Amino acid sequence: MEMVFNGVSRGLRGETRVPPDKSISHRAAILGAMAEGVTTASPFLRSGDCMSTLSCLRALGVGLELEGDTLRVEGKGVSAWREPEGWLDAGNSATTMRLLAGALSGIPIRCEIRGDASLSRRPMARIVEPLRAMGAEVEAVGEGNRPPLVIRGGGLKGIDYAMPVDSAQLKSALLLAGLQAEGETRVRGGKTSRDHTERMLALMGADIWFEEDAVAVRRSTLEGHEIRIPGDISSASFLLAAAALVPGSRLVLRDVGLNPTRAGFLSVLNSMGALVMESSYRETDNEPRGDLEAASAELAGVEVDGWRIPAMIDEVPLLAVLGCRAKGETVVRGAGELRVKESDRIAAICAELIRMGGRLEELEDGFVVHGPAKLVGARVDSHGDHRIAMALAVAALCAEGETVISGWECVDISFPGFAELLRTLI
């Protein structure tokens, strides 16, 4: 599927909401299924990835229904999960595969989790090795420790584990396994990676505590809870970037999640000179949220590395777009994890922006953007990656002429209706 965008001269104007947070939606479904009692989550994100999670949970015998944007999970604890008749299909969702691997590691049933072609290229050794150390039988049977995953769980013992990569999915998998393990499970590192799992575990009554550079859990029974899900800040970032780039813009986004472990992009936007303001800050169900207002501004290049990368990992391709229009150099280092996302996001965004007239140099763990550059419309490729597709759409708005983006259907993974919403604001 192709989507066509034209450069615009007038600003983005209006007030809107973005889709519910994808990370929180996944976790509400999985933790609700592990809990005792009813969990309701609203508004739940009806995206491809989240539907994959619900499909897997249904195959495991979990009772749930999604009516409108409200998910209701009839939690009966993991002891009620049954061995599926076939394999579990995680689709494109690494979150589904890795978090379910952690949950299933404590249950004495055999499961195989598969994914699509993109997910089948994602590395899984990072979760296989520590889950095996806890006592589960876990194997990545694809070439090079890649999916499918085959799991036979049960008989877990807690471990003290230092994460080799700053990964929220790895941290979450070990914590979900730790809920079912004998003794304590301690995960060291990862304090700058998103912490939605820890927050939701605390909300649902887990025996969880925090140390200087670690989070730890003991065997716990979770209790069902009502969870109100804020707007997804990663989805909001594409609209904020468009407002910053297109002259004359003034845009208000209501009820967006403002979790500090996800807000690195807001910090970088401000460092570049963008006008982004927060208001109506509040905390609901252990998650901070508020409204964001953005306006167009002259941008300057920045250097981003270290702790800020995990807090904006999904928005790094978008930073390359901003760098194309900013004065001076924009440099990103320490983002090697982008090489093993839905696509090689470093290679993909550099190649496609160069097609549009951007001046970029690809680094092993990031890129250098020389700005400002005059962008021109071109035929570009999403690489089957929703973040790349939406970043290119933002670039198209400040390019001269028409841009055609192929593989647009992947956007439904996280932001169904993105193109239509964008056009209502122009």
Q: Catalytic amino acids?
A: 314
Torsion on CA atoms 228, 229, 231, 234, rounded to nearest 10:
160
For residue 95, give the nearest of 152, 34, 202, 167 by alpha carbon. 167
Closest CA to 206 of 160, 162, 172, 232: 172
Measured in whole angstroms, the distance separating CA 97 from the mean position of its chain's CA atoms is 13
DSSP 116: -
Tell me the β-bridge partners of 403. Answer: 5
Number of alpha carbons in the 13 Å side-chain half-sphere of residue 321: 34
> Two tokens at 28?
């509400």
Separation CA 63–CA 249 (nearest Å) = 45
Looking only at the bridges linking them, the beta strands covering 287-295 and 275-284 are antiparallel
Give Cβ neighbours of residue 153 (< 8 Å, ≥ 6 apart).
Answer: 104, 105, 106, 107, 108, 109, 136, 137
Which residues make Cβ contacts (< 8 Å) with residue 341, sequence separation at least 6? Answer: 122, 385, 387
Q: Which of 413, 408, 342 is nearest to 51 (CA)?
A: 413
User: Dihedral angle at the C-alpha atoms of 349, 351, 352, 354, nearest 10 degrees?
Assistant: 110
Rounded to the nearest 10 degrees, how much is the dihedral formed by the CA atoms of 35, 39, 42, 47? 50
